[in-house]
Amino acid sequence: MEKKVLKFIKKMPKVELHLHLDGSLNVDYIKNKYNLSDEEIKNKMVADEKCHNLNDYLTKFDFPISIMQTKQELESAVYNLLEQLKKQNVIYVEIRFAPQFHTKGGLTQDEVVQTVIEAKNKVDIKSNVILCIMRGKDNENANMETIKLAKKYLNKGVCALDLAGAEAVFKTCTYEKMFKYIKDNDIPFTIHAGEADGIESIKSAIDFGAKRLGHGVRAIEDENVIENIKDNEITLEVCPTSNIQTCICNSYESHPISRLYFNGVKTTINTDNMTVSNTTLEKEYENLIENTKLTIEDIIKMNINSINAAFISESEKKELIKKVKDYNMEEE
């Protein structure tokens, strides 16, 4: 890849829509605070280049979640992540996490959400929070509490809800009642669908009214689903490295993002988990340009797709799009 292109990728304004807080902790901070070796950090926080499946990948969240149980650790996680993103020239990010996972130290879900919002506001980078409800057993009450908190803090730091977790085990279709409540309360949402589970998961998410899908790359398996996504103007939050790790596809070359993009699907590029996947947006862009037919111009277009799909106002979108369009290769 040309040095000019590499330099442009490094400095270009970037947008991140699909980023998990607990999968993106600052490695140096954790290593120093808990006196961990590089090998221990890798074993606890970084997934293998090829996991057995999504559930194997998700085990790397256990340690980060176990330490994110106090206001101080939550504040540090948010602050350090946003500082990293700022250095990477990210101009807007939506950070997602599940408040119900951070109450073991005595905090309430409400206190967790307040802490994260207060921490994000201390860093000079445009950001919002997506609250995750979780697939699982016996957690309906916790999920409903999260939904009500999303409504309480909507447009006050929280921008949307998400459904996350073991998609193949806890099917998307079983959350129909919950998403009816979410829609009735006018809370924006995205849904992890079409990652570990297939076409039916995507169909359910579309039926629920989702305008964004977390991953969604299994849509490539059904032309009718692709057309449905296009007809409904749904945006896919694609995370290439993560998809390779969880065996959704074998390589960047075989990843469906370029086929979906060139077929007219609104695709975006995201990291999913910067630490667990050992990646950055810069790395994602480089890997795609080197191994697919995507060009830097396509990457720019996908950043604009991200802005148009973001859970923000039209005036905010207009301002961000101008930043992306005003920065061009000639400045390098």
pLDDT score of 242: 96
Q: What are phi and psi of 233, to 5 degrees?
A: 50, 50
pLDDT score of 284: 98
pLDDT score of 198: 86
- The rounded percent of the chain whose pLDDT value lies above 90 is 86
- 22 CB-near residues (< 8 Å, 6+ apart): 61, 64, 65, 68, 77, 97, 101
pLDDT score of 49: 85
What tens digit of pLDDT does each residue of 172-202 get? 999 999 999 999 999 999 999 998 888 999 9
Rounded Cα distance, 236 and 126, in Å: 21
pLDDT score of 329: 54
Whether the CB-CB separation of 262 and 12 falls below 8 Å is answered with no
Among residues 237, 244, 247, the alpha carbon closest in space to that of 278 is found at 244
- 40 CB-near residues (< 8 Å, 6+ apart): none
- 34 CB-near residues (< 8 Å, 6+ apart): 67
Strand order in the sheet with 235-238: 14-20, 90-97, 126-134, 158-164, 189-193, 212-215, 235-238, 266-269
Q: What number of other Cβ atoms are within 10 A of residue 69's Cβ?
A: 17
Rounded Cα distance, 319 and 86, in Å: 17
Among residues 289, 314, 287, 246, the alpha carbon closest in space to that of 60 is found at 246
pLDDT score of 55: 79
Question: Domains in the chain and their CATH numbers?
Answer: 15-321 (3.20.20.140)
What tens digit of pLDDT does each residue of 47-72 get? 888 887 777 888 899 999 999 999 99
Rounded Cα distance, 242 and 144, in Å: 29
| Residue 69 Cα to chain centre, angstroms | 21
pLDDT at position 332 over 60:
no
Task: Among 68-77, 101-110, 173-182, 321-330, name the one with the lowest average pLDDT.
Answer: 321-330
Whether the CB-CB separation of 248 and 240 falls below 8 Å is answered with no
Rounded Cα distance, 88 and 109, in Å: 30
pLDDT at position 318 over 70:
yes
Rg (CA), the chain: 19
Write out the two tokens for 125.
Answer: 């980078």
Whether the CB-CB separation of 165 and 193 falls below 8 Å is answered with no
Rounded Cα distance, 252 and 75, in Å: 34
Active site residues: 195
Mean pLDDT of the chain: 95
What tens digit of pLDDT does each residue of 7-24 get? 999 999 999 999 999 999
Whether the CB-CB separation of 265 and 229 falls below 8 Å is answered with yes
Whether the CB-CB separation of 275 and 27 falls below 8 Å is answered with yes
Residue appearing with tokens 């409903």 = 144
| Residue 321 Cα to chain centre, angstroms | 20
- Residue 234 DSSP symbol: P
Rounded Cα distance, 308 and 222, in Å: 25
